[in-house]
Amino acid sequence: ENHARELLELHTVSPAAGYTQQDVIALSYIMAGWENRWSKTREECNPVHFEQKSHEPGNHEVMGKRYKQRGLSPKNKLIDAIEDLCAHPSCAEFVSTKLVRHFVADDVTPEMVQPLIDAWRATDGHLPAVYKALIRVVYEHTGSHKKFLNPEVWFLQSIKMTEAPWPPEPSAMEYDFKSKPQKLQRRPRGLMFEIGHPVYRPKQPNGWPDTEAEWLSPELLIRRLAIAKRLAREYMAIGKLEKSIAHNFDSAGDVIAYLKFCRDNPDNWRSTSVDTQFFLPSEWMLKV
């Protein structure tokens, strides 16, 4: 029943759809029987399968629609129910709002969300089309909204910007789920823990929040700066910094000139008259 409630509340239509407790119970009956086998000899999760003997038989009604068995197996009922939930107008609005909140701003406006909803409806929920609409919305609001990134996205973006050799080759990250992962394989988990984002350990069942307040604190910012310095020392080869700046800054020449000045004048770099705010913006510091 808890899983059925989460399917409605967190993953599809949200409470805005107006479902009732009876809908939750009926959906839990439909979900009954879907499970994955577990054994001591196989610690990795097995594929999910349908176990008919664990299923609640009969017809069940969820949000005004009745679901009944087709053919010899009743497993079609859950597939039918999920397809209907995804086609519900509240699902398009709820998922689109979460996407915009993640990539653009905490305070989502209807104007930001509507292009995603339109793409959802025009393509019957085809997610690549929704993501294309999202990219356009992000681009249109880049100048007016600067989202403070959560730790995981910040880490991945930093790696991509600097072209650091991380993560290693996929073969180096493989393990058999029976032995303890090696130090190299555990490193992302340790880094995420340091900056307040323990892997797979959110505080609530709906995952990590996408609001800036969850990640903005003096301590967490200091931790990010420390990790950035450590990664730069390990992965930024001589001459690679300028290449990275050229690829990622609009005013790359000004940034490089300023950093060279700081390097050549370690004792009085603060005395420069250059206004760094226009090419090294730090509005996020004012939010702490």
Condensed to tens digits (0 to 9), the pLDDT of residues 240-265 reads: 778 888 888 877 888 888 878 877 87
Domain ranges of the chain: 2-87, 89-140, 151-236
Q: From residue 229, how far is each of 9, 91, 212 by CA, in Å?
A: 41, 42, 23
Residues of the chain with pLDDT under 70: 39-45, 166-167, 235-239, 268-288
So what's the pLDDT on residue 85?
A: 97
State the pLDDT at residue 92: 98
Give the per-residue pLDDT at 60: 96
pLDDT at 158: 82
What is d(CA 160, CA 248) in angstroms, rounded to the nearest whole number?
A: 10
